[in-house]
């Protein structure tokens, strides 16, 4: 079986059944979401850009926003045979600038923190919670998700690749 | 690490400094004149054959959707408009050296270019929305804002990890650490280069104060547009290096630009839409 390598671009969702390697580069305040149902081998990866869609504007790409991207990711995986309750998730990204002037860090300007909360909230609405996360701080990140092994790794421009989670290990063991 | 290198040393010791062709600067100046014509702009451009051919190649990229190949400079100015050709001239003048990897900032090939181009698109969009300054000036300022990194890159090589550690230990932004160690930062070096190139004062100011727009005296709308554009581009992860998002954001720019800060998500969305429209142009350049 050939393993397909897919780069997940801004506001994109990719799903697969079987094998595949998803790479989500250039995560600043955006969130990379990796998901798998280890029983049916259905997996997906999304790059979420902003927390909420705009009420007065049609959504052209659901993965732009957490409130539309997470339902779309789950829906696409379910259509390939995934069982919602079995889906294991890891998220990374949500960085923010170092300091917000005189403003507080929880302000509207902090896209990264708001993205983390919005993605987590959207997952919770499906009864899901990230098994592992690497969020916040001021580093850009790249995540790689190997479907066959379930391993999610994270690297920054100044750090080597480190393991974040094994999404096939339902005990939650992150030793990969 | 000790601050033994002066700003002049950094510039003098960097043998691989970027250069902006005189023809590109002449085009920028010409298009600012009310008397400029397609012919006069084309004449300035034609003084530099390499630059002219790059501009024509970009003008013929899928982005502009020309129905036929355009080979004449004056015709390209007529068809695309003076402002577009001006922007293409600045792009063509800078992208060859902006594509290089920069180990000092842990920037992969094309990362500097992607980030700079992102800031130029965002700054142009913000200038249009705020009606605070000439959008094309904001575009150029965005493209050039980080040019000082090219010189600082040589000095930072193999010191990046130590600078990041210092930033984390002392809770300083990356440019603050540069200033603490050397007495100046990449923005100051960039402004110094811009002065050597004899660029307009508004661009020099925007380059110098893009990380601390509140310190510009008087404050400048172009600088504010670049600061906000830089923030959006960093947030969207374009061309991030080892310095990542280790910079301060000054929310005062919203007030000065007359933009509601609550509109930040909508502006980000519009920025991403604008950026994605340039995909074919970006491909054309990064493939060069």
Q: In chain B, pLDDT over 70 holds for what percent of residues? A: 95
- From B106, B231, B245, residue closest to A95, measured CB to CB: B245
Report how far residue B65's alpha carbon sits from residue B59's, in angstroms, rounded to the nearest whole number: 9
pLDDT per residue as tens, chain A (176 positions):
566 899 999 999 999 999 999 999 999 999 999 999 999 999 999 999 999 999 999 999 999 999 999 999 999 999 999 999 999 999 999 999 988 765 544 468 899 999 999 999 999 999 999 999 999 999 999 999 999 999 999 999 888 899 999 999 865 555 54
Cβ–Cβ contact A92 with B under 8 A:
no
Contact B234 A28 (CB under 8 A): yes
Partner B contacted by A101 (CB < 8 A): yes
pLDDT digit string (tens) for B175-201? 999 999 888 999 999 999 899 888 889
Residues with Cβ within 8 Å of residue A114, at least 6 apart in sequence: A51, A108
Contacts of B234 in chain A (CB under 8 A): 28, 97
Q: Across the interface, which of A50, A111, A157 has its CB nearest the CB of B244?
A: A157
Average pLDDT score over residue span B75-97: 88
Q: Which of A43, A39, A130, A53 is nearest to A93 (CA)?
A: A130
**Which of A139-143, B25-29, B133-137 reaches the highest mean pLDDT?**
A139-143
By a Cβ cutoff of 8 Å, what residues of chain B touch chain A? 106-108, 160-161, 164, 167, 173-174, 214, 231, 234-242, 244-252, 261-262, 264-266, 268-269, 272, 276
- The reported pLDDT for the residue numbered B4 is 65
Residue B2 pLDDT greater than 50, yes or no: no
Give the global pTM: 0.91
A154: contact with B, CB 8 A cutoff: no
Question: CA B238 to CA B276: how far, in whole Å?
Answer: 12
Q: What is the pLDDT of residue A176?
A: 47
Encode A37-69: b = buried (16+ Cβ within 10 Å), e = exposed: bbebbbbbbbbbbbbebeeeeeeebbbbbbbbb
| Confidence bin at B251 (pLDDT 50/70/90) | very high
Q: Characterize the bridge pairing of strands A13-17 and A31-37.
A: unpaired
Flag whether pLDDT at B288 surpasses 60: no
Average pLDDT taken over every residue of chain B: 89
Residue B106, pLDDT score: 92
């Amino acid at each position: 079986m050939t393993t397909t390598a897919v780069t997940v671009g801004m506001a994109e969702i990719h799903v697969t059944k079987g094998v595949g390697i998803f790479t989500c580069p250039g995560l600043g305040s955006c969130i990379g979401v990796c998901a798998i149902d280890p029983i049916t081998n259905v997996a997906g990866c999304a790059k979420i850009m902003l927390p909420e869609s705009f009420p007065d504007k049609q959504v052209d790409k659901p993965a732009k926003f957490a409130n539309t991207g997470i339902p779309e990711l789950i829906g696409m995986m379910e259509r390939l045979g995934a069982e919602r309750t079995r889906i294991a998730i890891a998220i990374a990204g949500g960085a923010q600038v170092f300091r917000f002037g005189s403003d507080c860090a929880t302000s509207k300007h902090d896209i990264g923190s708001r993205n983390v909360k919005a993605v987590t909230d959207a997952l919770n609405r499906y009864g899901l919670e990230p098994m592992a996360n690497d969020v916040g701080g001021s580093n850009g990140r790249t995540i790689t998700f190997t479907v066959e092994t379930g391993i999610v790794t994270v690297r920054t421009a100044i750090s080597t690749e480190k393991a974040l989670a094994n999404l096939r290990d339902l005990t939650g063991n992150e030793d990969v | 690490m000790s601050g033994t290198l002066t700003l002049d040393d950094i510039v003098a010791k960097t043998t691989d400094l970027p250069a902006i062709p005189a023809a590109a600067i002449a085009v920028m100046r010409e298009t600012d004149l009310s008397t400029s014509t397609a012919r006069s702009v084309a004449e300035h451009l034609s003084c530099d054959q390499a630059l002219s051919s790059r501009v024509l190649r970009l003008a013929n990229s899928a982005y502009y959707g020309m129905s036929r190949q355009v080979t004449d400079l004056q015709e390209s100015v007529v068809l695309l408009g003076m402002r577009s050709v001006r922007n293409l001239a600045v792009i063509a003048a800078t992208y060859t050296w902006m594509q290089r990897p920069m180990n000092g900032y842990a920037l992969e090939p094309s990362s500097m270019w992607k980030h700079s181009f992102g800031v130029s698109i965002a700054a142009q969009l913000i200038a249009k929305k705020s009606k605070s300054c000439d959008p094309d000036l904001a575009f150029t300022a965005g493209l050039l804002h980080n040019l000082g990194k090219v010189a600082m890159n040589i000095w930072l090589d193999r010191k990046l990890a130590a600078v990041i550690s210092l930033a984390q230990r002392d809770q300083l932004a990356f440019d603050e650490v540069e200033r603490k160690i050397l007495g100046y930062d990449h923005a100051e070096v960039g402004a110094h280069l811009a002065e050597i190139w004899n660029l307009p004062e508004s661009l020099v100011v925007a380059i110098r104060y893009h990380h601390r727009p509140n310190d510009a005296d008087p404050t400048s709308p172009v600088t504010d547009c670049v600061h906000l554009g830089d923030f959006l581009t960093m947030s969207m992860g374009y061309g991030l290096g080892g310095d990542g998002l280790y910079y301060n954001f000054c929310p005062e720019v919203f007030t000065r630009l007359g933009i509601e800060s609550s509109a930040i998500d909508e502006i980000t969305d519009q920025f991403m839409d604008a950026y994605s429209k340039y995909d074919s142009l970006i491909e054309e350049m990064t493939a060069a």
